[in-house]
């Protein structure tokens, strides 16, 4: 295993239902920094996407939210993230779970949100049955996951090879077990370094 420094500005990326928000929240709590949910910055009432209707405003929100020196970002929005804060980004944690697991998760999560009438980001409620309607592209998150799975993976692999992002460390987690082990390792590292949160100036944090 090699020593890894994950830095102080981190983005957790992945497909829908990969567990981005959960991992980002855990990291933010562990290091005592702000967790920024990109979906919360994007979605307006009635499922109006700021990224789609006003890209300039969305990028302004991203730049404002990431203006600090230490934060954890939950969400992908790759093009907007790259334009807004990737120049300052230290690490991308890519949760790359298998497609079958994502499909199961989206169905379970949508059902639970619909049954509980969970208010999302203070603006919207999720409906369950439209998620199953693969022919309704704009409404079905299931359609989005299935059709975007391979393109998103190819795009992420491409980012890892692009020279302009060579300053970013990419950590790819390909199973729930790897995600769990990753967090266990970080927690152990923080316990052994009680006076240290996120390391400064490239100091090593943990071994992966």
Structural domain includes residue 207: no
pTM of the shown model: 0.78
| CATH number, domain containing residue 27 | 3.40.50.300
Coil, strand, or helix at residue 84?
A: helix
CA triple 199-60-11, angle to 5 deg = 30
In a domain? residue 81: yes
pLDDT at residue 163, as a whole number: 96
**Is 208 among the domain residues?**
no
- Residue 125: inside a domain: no
Residue 107 within a domain:
no
Q: How many domains would you assign to the chain? A: 1
Which is nearest to 142 in space by CA: 96, 105, 179? 105
Residues 166, 191: Cα–Cα separation, whole Å: 30
Residue owning tokens 């990419």: 170
Judge contact between 34 and 115, C-beta under 8 A: no
Please name the helix (run of DSSP H) or strand (run of DSSP E) that holds residue 17, with its range, or none: none
* Residues in the chain where the model's pLDDT stays below 50: 1-4, 129, 135, 195-208
Phi, psi of 34 (to 5 degrees): -75, 140
Residue 87 falls inside a structural domain: yes
Q: What is the pLDDT of residues 8-26, one digit of tens each?
A: 999 999 887 788 889 999 9
Domain enclosing residue 13, as ranges:
3-98+150-200
Rounded Cα–Cα distance for residues 100 and 110 (Å): 16
Q: Is residue 141 part of a domain?
A: no
* 46 in Cβ contact with 124 (< 8 Å): yes
CA distances, 170 to each of 8, 54, 63, 115, 166 (Å): 14, 29, 21, 37, 9
Give the pLDDT of residue 195: 43
What is the pLDDT, as a whole number, of residue 132?
Answer: 58
Asked if the structure places residue 135 within a domain, the reply is no
pLDDT at residue 5 in the model? 73
């Amino acid at each position: 295993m090699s020593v890894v420094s994950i830095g102080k500005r981190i983005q957790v990326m992945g497909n829908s239902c990969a567990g981005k928000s959960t991992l980002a929240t855990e990291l933010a709590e562990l290091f005592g920094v702000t967790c920024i949910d990109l979906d919360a910055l994007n979605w307006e009432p009635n499922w109006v996407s700021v990224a789609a209707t006003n890209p300039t405003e969305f990028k302004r929100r991203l730049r404002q939210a990431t203006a600090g020196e230490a934060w954890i970002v939950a969400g992908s929005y790759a093009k907007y993230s790259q334009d807004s804060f990737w120049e300052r980004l230290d690490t991308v944690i890519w949760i790359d779970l298998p497609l079958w697991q994502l499909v199961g998760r989206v169905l379970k999560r949508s059902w639970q949100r619909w049954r509980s009438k969970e208010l999302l980001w203070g603006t919207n409620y999720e409906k369950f049955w439209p998620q199953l309607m693969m022919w309704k592209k704009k409404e079905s998150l299931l359609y989005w996951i299935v059709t975007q799975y391979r393109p998103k993976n190819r795009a992420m692999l491409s980012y890892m090879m692009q020279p302009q992002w060579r300053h970013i460390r990419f950590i790819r987690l390909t199973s729930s077990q790897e995600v769990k082990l990753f967090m266990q390792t970080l927690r152990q590292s923080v316990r052994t370094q009680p006076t240290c949160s996120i390391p400064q100036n490239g100091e090593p944090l943990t071994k992966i």
